[in-house]
Structure 1
């Protein structure tokens, strides 16, 4: 326990460096593309390339970790992240930037699998949910810090990449100071099908997809949306900070609410409120309040869905379920930005939030249907 007690905060510190780097890139890359007059659909595809990398990284994570062990793998992908960021400075064109964002996506996905697996393997039933809450809070804090620090980063792509390289070197150094070891897995151990067909976990898995679709679109397209409204880079960063900070603040109260009143009811309520917030943004009614509400709801969907799905499987299957959730979350993240970007390109910027409404209403319908079915089963069982 002594090694674990200080390994966990060191692990989170390393994650913080990775998240700050990723957060700055997620906002800066669309802005660079806008400044270089790329069409919205190409910005969406570059954003989706990152999430395709997430998908590939999630699938290959087990093999890489088994070959090099967790700490070495983490260090290697930090180096890969830094090199890919420097690669952006070689040429600002659609194909090369899609490739480098794809490589960064692979590195990030493997990082998340390692961090989440370390937490799930070392945590107990009593501590796991608390550790995941701290993990998500750290992740979002790093995202907010990345947005806040963005104005101090150099505007030049090459110098920007050098700053990212320093942060990733620190992340690699910190992970080597921990004592985490993950059990080696068999080649066929990443069997998704039992997790995907688990009926009890289906709402948790759908929640992960929904969160991926909306948050992926937020990172890929919202900076470009604000830029098209005429905001400068500093103002775009401020709006992103407000959105993500709202998600950070909401983590613990929403988690308490989910434990007390149930995850099903909470997700249903969150989706309804998110729809209202999107309507407010479309008509430009109290945009600051609407942004706070949207961040507080959307950024808490993934951890609540993750906790819901993990409750439905045995302890030995939790890590595989975690990887399954990350995989379906990534699928949502890579598909939605590309499709929504095409719609925005044809019909206008406001269709970003109209798309969020359609996605949220679909999830509301599924949750209501599940709630009614559960009550019918309970009613029938009482006779």
Structure 2
């Protein structure tokens, strides 16, 4: 694979434009739907369709890369992203919006597979973790920038789409300046089952599912949740900024804690803290503090789980494991918003954070069981 020292920062610049576009859409689409009196279930359905697109995009990414090469594939999916955003202005029924969001989901998944694979293949054992940390920080900063810029975007769907199309054109321009060429894979090389059944990576993969379920629901339902609490659009964006920025700030410290105290222990502690934060948010107590805690824990679950799962496999299997993690993360993101939205429709909007508590408690129980088994094994060996 051809690698140039300047390709990595240029790749991140291109990713930044994609992420800003996605961030603004993730908040604005639920608000558009809420303002047009769509039900919470319909909002959740549109949100889930985006993650169905992620799922499909994960499967077809290798085929597209092999057929069109890395930079052309990236450029084509950015074009699809732009056209699908413009397509949102063509109609205002849930099924049409679900279709356009599905296409955007496909485009985003292919983009992530390309970016993460470029990093994993070009990185060495000494700098891969650092490159992934920079990648995750760039991704979350792009999300924050998107929320901050949202107030300056036009509220009309068509003009909003034109702004997104401009950002996608910039993303294409920068990716064409790089020299990335991913190796072509055989059709049988993307075999998920060995990775899914690989026991040492089990809890890491489960962490990716949990992160997908909660973060997918945040993007699909949290803007509508704040809107039901009578926050205006600017206030909604500010709360999302606080949540995601907390995750950005926590990336490096949490990585240090994971290296020092172990990924398993840190993930367990994060689940307990997330449960505590959700309980505060349910009761509307210390909401700023609780939002910071929740963002700092939930947005670091995926990279820690990813690092845990990747360190259990051989180097030649890292890219496949990465795609498997993206797949299970997407499945979590796909399932949770629709189910939680239905629960919220029936029981009330506060069931959003109650659902997060249930998910976090389940993962915490799995982690506690593994910690207990590991402790007993160590005690047995010391006798």
Distance 1:2 1:78 in 2: 23
Residues 26-73 of structure 1 show CA distances to partners (whole Å, capped at 9, x for unaligned) of: 000000000000000000010000000000000111111100011100
Distance 1:380 1:52 in 2: 46
Q: 1:55: which partner in 2?
A: 55
Shift in Å, 1:327: 0.1
Q: Secondary structure at the match of 1:184?
A: coil
Q: Tell me how large the CA RMSD over aligned residues is.
A: 1.0
Residues 244-263 of structure 1 show CA distances to partners (whole Å, capped at 9, x for unaligned) of: 00000000010011011100
Q: 2:194: which partner in 1?
A: 194
In the TM superposition, 1:147-296 aligns within 5 A as 147-296=147-296
Q: Secondary structure at the match of 2:86?
A: helix
Shift in Å, 1:132: 0.2
* Long gaps (5+) in structure 2: none
Shift in Å, 1:105: 0.2
Shift in Å, 1:379: 2.2
Distance 2:86 2:343 in 1: 32
Q: 1:117: which partner in 2?
A: 117
Distance 1:298 1:3 in 2: 33
Residues 100-144 of structure 1 show CA distances to partners (whole Å, capped at 9, x for unaligned) of: 000000000000000000000000001000000000000000000
Q: 1:90: which partner in 2?
A: 90
Q: 1:297: which partner in 2?
A: 297
Distance 1:305 1:129 in 2: 13
Residues 151-202 of structure 1 show CA distances to partners (whole Å, capped at 9, x for unaligned) of: 0000000000000000001001100100111000001111001101111000
Shift in Å, 1:3: 4.9
Distance 2:4 2:156 in 1: 40
Distance 2:375 2:264 in 1: 12
Q: How many residues align?
A: 383
Q: Secondary structure at the match of 2:90?
A: coil
Q: 1:372: which partner in 2?
A: 372
Distance 2:70 2:169 in 1: 16
Shift in Å, 1:381: 2.7
Distance 1:18 1:41 in 2: 27
Distance 1:3 1:262 in 2: 33
Distance 1:325 1:122 in 2: 19
Shift in Å, 1:376: 1.6
Q: Secondary structure at the match of 1:312?
A: coil
Q: 1:44: which partner in 2?
A: 44
Of the structure 1 ranges 295-304 and 370-379, higher mean CA displacement relative to structure 2 is found in 370-379
Shift in Å, 1:2: 10
Query: Structure 1: which 4+ aligned runs deviate by more than 6 Å?
Result: none
* Long gaps (5+) in structure 1: none
Q: 1:103: which partner in 2?
A: 103
